Amino acid sequence: MTERPAVGPPARTRLRAAGLTLPLVAFVGFSFLFPLGTMLSRSVYDPLVADALPETLALLEEWDGETLPGEPVFAAAARELETALEGRLAGRLGGRVNRVASGMRSVIVRGARAAAEAPAATARETLMVGDPAWGEPATWRAIRTAGERFTVRHYLRALDLDRDAGGSIVRQPEELRIYVPLLLRTLMVSGAVTLLCLLLGYPIAHLIANAPPRRARWLILLVLVPFWTSLLVRTTAWIVLLQTHGVVNSLLVALGIVADDGRIAMIYNMTGTLVAMTHVLLPFMVLPLYSVMRTIPSHFMRAASSLGANRRQSFFRVYWPLTLPGTAAGSLLVFILAIGYYITPALVGGSSGQLFSNMIAFHMQTSLNWGLAAALGGILFVVVGALYVVYDRLVGASSLKLG
Amino acid sequence: MRYRRRRQRETAKEVVVPDDATYVEFEGVSKTYDGVTPVVDGLDLQVHKGEFLTLLGPSGSGKTTCLMMLAGFEAPTAGAIRIRGRPIGDLPPRKRGIGMVFQNYALFPHLTVGQNLSFPLEVRRVDPEDTRKRVARALGLVRLEGYENRKTTQLSGGQQQRVAIARALVFEPDLVLMDEPLGALDRRLREEMQYEIRRIQRTLGITCIYVTHDQQEAMVLSDRVAVFHDGRLQQIATPEGLYEEPMRNFVARFIGENNRLSGRIENIDGAVCDVRVGDTVIRALRVVPGEVGDLTTLSIRPERVGLAPEPGLFANEFEARVEDLTFLGDHLRVVVSVLGADDFIVKIPNVVGHGAVIPGDRVRIGWTPTDCRALDHKPESTEP
Ligand SMILES: Nc1ncnc2c1ncn2[C@@H]1O[C@H](COP(=O)(O)OP(=O)(O)OP(=O)(O)O)[C@@H](O)[C@H]1O
Ligand SMILES: [Mg+2]
């Protein structure tokens, strides 16, 4: 090594130190970036239809979209559908087109079977024997849309938008809008949960931060024990407590506060979601708050009162501003966790207490529309990112204190 | 200010001793945190209006606790504290109208200098125009004009200190408490700030109670100094009084240098007494109210000890052996062994003809009985 000023370890050592982080970098790449990337790419990239019907789609490019396409298009479609049927692809193909216009699955599958049997002279008649819908331009429009290799239609749907016949973007009719209202509701629920956590967590954190060390240790433990308990256990505990014949209702009835036939519905609705989520996320608020409050020496409050401030003034003008980094960190954490929360609403939310993530899960597991699920996830991703940017502008990410 | 008018009305009603001079009074005040060890023990103390009083004592002697009780952050276990004759036991800190400078400044880190200073005015609902003027005036007082918009974290130690003082003064309290405000500053800055504090206190005519464990600082600043030890008030006197006439062994030790000799009272003769040290008898001023046979500690300031070339110059004269010698410019510091002590210090002023001595020399030293005070005796081991 040549002589050089002592400005840190030599390059080789630094390289070796960086090398030690390689497994982690690889792990993060493998377990996080790669799945995230594939998932997000699914929201804009779907080659299945395009690969199955290349010739048909090429011919459809010249089509005006209003009249029925000509015999060559029918012939190409019949040929390619037959191939798809042999490759056991017809069902999935039908499913893809079905997402563009409902009812298309059976049209495609029947068309494919008819093409394989070839009962009529022309391809057009053959397909129309399979299903008369083949004689309508709408079917061909659906195939053309589903055949786009790169598409924003998942995002359009996720934002309750659609293309009209002319191809321009319009909002869905009121009664078909699902995702935007759900997203708004999720944001509101997350906001409410954050607020509840702050209202409950602030005094708790204050109590712990100002308790004598021994008691503080116990109190911290009380906050952490639920934190260490399985999420499922905690959530089902709320079912035991809040259900119609649960502990709380029975107590209220026994005390004569509510009538036996007027038991309050506290679970399997929004109330259940709010209560259980607040409970689950409370430690994420308490811990950052506590770690900030612990560093605020008592002489600041003493100084405030010696300068003539009453309790309220000392709190709002001295204590609260000093705890802002903790408040902001806790709120950000709780809000971001709440916005993507899935298990708790799924278990105790009933039908009215479902959140955005439950919809993503539905499209992943039940409807198997991964493209749409990915688009919904992408939207969530953007919302969280935007929140972080706003936070950074307002508070500064460097002041984040996460415990 | 609203609360101040009310306080005055109540004062008029509740005055116990209408004594114009006494502003703050501690009467029999005791404090214990654990119910066993007294941190402050039977404190009686009067602070006069416009006075600069310093509480001086070693670490843990209860000085801060006294201030905290006066400011209202701790309650006395026994006794009463009065301000202007009015007991303040049930007044919360914010209603005591006391300016306080904390040991670690306690400047609000999220506020600027100007906002720190306007805080006490805003909570009192002083109108904004007036607030601005008073903040500017207070900053002028501590020579920090134009620092309103600085963050307190961007100030040097001395500047933070001055902001803390300005903040304690800006709402014009009659009484200001300062808890070791210069503790964190370097020597030069300390001296500068001592002067500033004294100047401000004189200019405003406020009463100031100051805490320090630095005796020199106490001497420089104070009208009177109250010396604390183990929660007890040892002596309260002017700086001069403390130095010249320490009433207790602890005070003599704590303030300035002194030589101590242990002995037993052999004979009492009014204000003086004879004390036997080893096999010598020394005539001393009787300060401790002891009896014949009691143990006593004699305290002699090094500069009051003289060389006696001819016998008969002092009432107390002894043969001593020079052990060590340091030349300090204005005086010679000579360590001699005498009367069984081998660390007896003599300061000889550097005047023409002080006579050169070298280690090993035998010299005659002596002092007058009034410069030799017979104080209470405490075994050396329990001393700080
Ligand atoms: N809040 C408290 N709880 C229990 N003991 C305390 C408390 N505050 C002070 N003490 C004890 O009381 C004694 C006196 O403390 P105090 O703070 O008054 O001393 P001090 O004279 O100000 O000392 P220093 O010069 O070190 O500041 C100490 O022994 C200390 O341990
Ligand atoms: Mg102290």
Domain ranges of chain B: 21-244, 258-377
**Which protein residue's CA is at the shortest distance from atom 12 of ligand 1?**
B39
Residue of A nearest to B68 (CA): A302
Q: Which amino acid is at B292?
A: V
CA distance B303 to A216: 57
pLDDT of residue A285: 94
| pLDDT tier, B18 (very low <50, low <70, confident <90, very high otherwise) | very low
Indicate yes or no: CB of A305 within 8 angstroms of CB of B123. no
Percent of chain B with pLDDT over 90: 21
Give which of B278, B253, B220 is closest to B378, Cα–Cα: B253
pLDDT of residue B14: 40
Asked whether B333 and B273 are in contact (CB, 8 A), the reply is: no
pLDDT of residue B291: 78
Is pLDDT of B382 > 50? Answer: no
Asked whether A34 and A41 are in contact (CB, 8 A), the reply is: no
Mean pLDDT, residues A365-372: 89
Using an 8 Å CB-CB cutoff, list chain A residues near B167.
307
| pLDDT tier, B326 (very low <50, low <70, confident <90, very high otherwise) | confident
SS3 B278: coil
Q: Is B323 exposed, middle or buried (0-12, 13-18, 19+ CB in 10 A)?
A: middle
Q: Identify the residue whose tokens are 């963050």.
A: B151
Torsion of Cα atoms, A237 then A239 then A245 then A250, to 10°: 50
Mean pLDDT, residues B288-301: 82
Is pLDDT of A278 > 90? Answer: yes
A229-245 pLDDT, tens digit each: 888 888 889 999 998 88
Size of interface A-B (CB pairs under 8 A): 61
Residue B210: its H or E element: strand B207-212
Using an 8 Å CB-CB cutoff, list chain A residues near B94.
305-310
Q: Which amino acid is at A282?
A: L
Asked whether B55 and B210 are in contact (CB, 8 A), the reply is: yes
For testing the chain A interface, which of B6, B100, B104, B172 should be mutated: the one with the most A CBs within 10 Å?
Answer: B100
Asked whether B374 and B292 are in contact (CB, 8 A), the reply is: no
pLDDT of residue B69: 92
pLDDT of residue A282: 92
| pLDDT tier, A228 (very low <50, low <70, confident <90, very high otherwise) | confident
Using an 8 Å CB-CB cutoff, list chain B residues near A306.
71-73, 93-94, 96, 98-100
CB atoms within 10 A of CB A383: 18
| pLDDT tier, B104 (very low <50, low <70, confident <90, very high otherwise) | confident
Q: Which amino acid is at A221?
A: L
Indicate yes or no: CB of B108 within 8 angstroms of CB of A300. yes
Q: Is B239 left (phi over 0), alpha (psi -120 to 50) or beta?
A: alpha
| pLDDT tier, A8 (very low <50, low <70, confident <90, very high otherwise) | low
B346-373 pLDDT, tens digit each: 888 877 665 667 777 888 888 888 888 8
Give which of B260, B276, B367, B264 is closest to B317, Cα–Cα: B367
**What angle do the packed helices A90-100 and A104-117 form, to 10 degrees?**
140
Q: What ligand has the least distance to the C-alpha of B60?
A: 1
Asked whether B11 and B84 are in contact (CB, 8 A), the reply is: yes
Q: Identify the residue whose tokens are 């009538």.
A: A259
**Which protein residue's CA is at the shortest distance from atom 31 of ligand 1?**
B60
Residue of A nearest to B98 (CA): A306
Asked whether B3 and B194 are in contact (CB, 8 A), the reply is: no
Structural tokens at position A137: 């331009």
Nearest-CB residue to A310 (from B94, B108, B109): B94
Specify the pairing of strand B52-56 against strand B224-229: parallel
Asked whether B323 and B306 are in contact (CB, 8 A), the reply is: no
**What angle do the packed helices A270-293 and A231-242 form, to 10 degrees?**
130
| pLDDT tier, A399 (very low <50, low <70, confident <90, very high otherwise) | low
Q: What 8-state DSSP symbol labels residue A174?
A: G
Indicate yes or no: CB of A304 within 8 angstroms of CB of B71. no
Cβ-count burial B270-283 (b if 16+ within 10 Å, e if not): eebbbbebeeeebb
Is pLDDT of B8 > 60? Answer: no
Give which of B222, B263, B229, B267 is closest to B247, Cα–Cα: B229
Using an 8 Å CB-CB cutoff, list chain A residues near B98.
306
Strand partners, B366: B306, B317
Using an 8 Å CB-CB cutoff, list chain A residues near B102.
299, 302-303
The rounded Cα B294 to chain-centroid distance in angstroms is 30
Mean pLDDT, residues A342-357: 87
Q: Which residues contact B113 (CB under 8 A, 6 or more apart)?
A: B139, B144, B147, B148, B149, B150, B151, B152, B155, B163
For testing the chain A interface, which of B7, B64, B73 should be mutated: the one with the most A CBs within 10 Å?
Answer: B73
The C-alpha of B95 sits at a distance from chain A's nearest C-alpha, in angstroms, of 7
CA distance B50 to A31: 74
Q: Which amino acid is at A202?
A: Y
Q: How far is the CA of B339 from the centre of ligand 2 (A)?
A: 39
Query: Which of B32, B39, B210, B212 to probe ligand 1 with, by most ligand atoms within 8 A of CB?
Result: B39
CA distance B251 to B236: 10
Asked whether A288 and A270 are in contact (CB, 8 A), the reply is: no
pLDDT of residue B283: 82
Specify the pairing of strand B52-56 against strand B207-212: parallel
Q: What 8-state DSSP symbol labels residue B124?
A: T
Structural tokens at position A46: 């779907």
Mean pLDDT, residues A66-90: 89
Percent of chain A with pLDDT over 90: 31
Per the prediction, chain A carries an average pLDDT of 88
Mean pLDDT, residues A157-176: 84
Residue B193: its H or E element: helix B187-204
pLDDT of residue B272: 82
pLDDT of residue A402: 54
C-alpha distance from residue A322 to each of A201, A388, B58, B157 (Å): 16, 21, 34, 21
CA distance B123 to B117: 11
Is pLDDT of A375 > 50? Answer: yes
Q: How far is the CA of B179 from the centre of ligand 2 (A)?
A: 7
Indicate yes or no: CB of B93 within 8 angstroms of CB of A313. no
For testing the chain B interface, which of A299, A306, A323 should be mutated: the one with the most B CBs within 10 Å?
Answer: A306
SS3 B382: helix
Structural tokens at position B130: 């007036």
Indicate yes or no: CB of A300 within 8 angstroms of CB of B171. no
Measured distance between the N- and C-terminal CA atoms of chain B, rounded to whole angstroms: 47
What domains are there in chain A, each with its CATH number?
A: 48-151 (no CATH), 179-399 (1.10.3720.10)
CATH class, range B258-377: mainly beta
CA distance A161 to A170: 6
Which of A59-63, B107-111, B271-275 bottoms out in mean pLDDT, i.e. has the lowest? B271-275
C-alpha distance from residue A37 to each of A153, A158, A374, B141, B322 (Å): 19, 19, 10, 64, 90
**Which protein residue's CA is at the shortest distance from atom 6 of ligand 1?**
B33
Q: Which value, in Å, is the radius of gyration of the alpha carbons in chain A?
A: 30
Strand partners, B344: B336
Strand partners, B336: B322, B344
Fold observed for domain B21-244:
Rossmann fold (3.40.50)
Percent of chain A with pLDDT over 70: 96
**This prediction's pTM:** 0.77
pLDDT of residue A397: 62
Which of A13-17, A305-309, B105-109 bottoms out in mean pLDDT, i.e. has the lowest? A13-17
Give which of A341, A343, A374 is closest to A360, Cα–Cα: A374
Give which of B140, B186, B179 is closest to B163, Cα–Cα: B140
Is pLDDT of A204 > 50? Answer: yes
Q: How far is the CA of B59 from the centre of ligand 2 (A)?
A: 7
CA distance B61 to B213: 10
Cβ-count burial A308-342 (b if 16+ within 10 Å, e if not): bbeeebbbebbbeebbebbbbbbbbbbbbbbbbbe
Nearest-CB residue to B93 (from A297, A306, A317): A306
Pocket of ligand 1 (CB under 6 A): B 33, 39, 57, 59-65, 213
Asked whether B299 and B370 are in contact (CB, 8 A), the reply is: no
Sheet architecture: strand order including B316-327: B306-307, B362-367, B316-327, B331-338, B341-349
Residue of A nearest to B93 (CA): A306
CA distance A198 to B95: 32
Cβ-count burial A70-92 (b if 16+ within 10 Å, e if not): eeebbbbbbebbbbbbeeebbeb
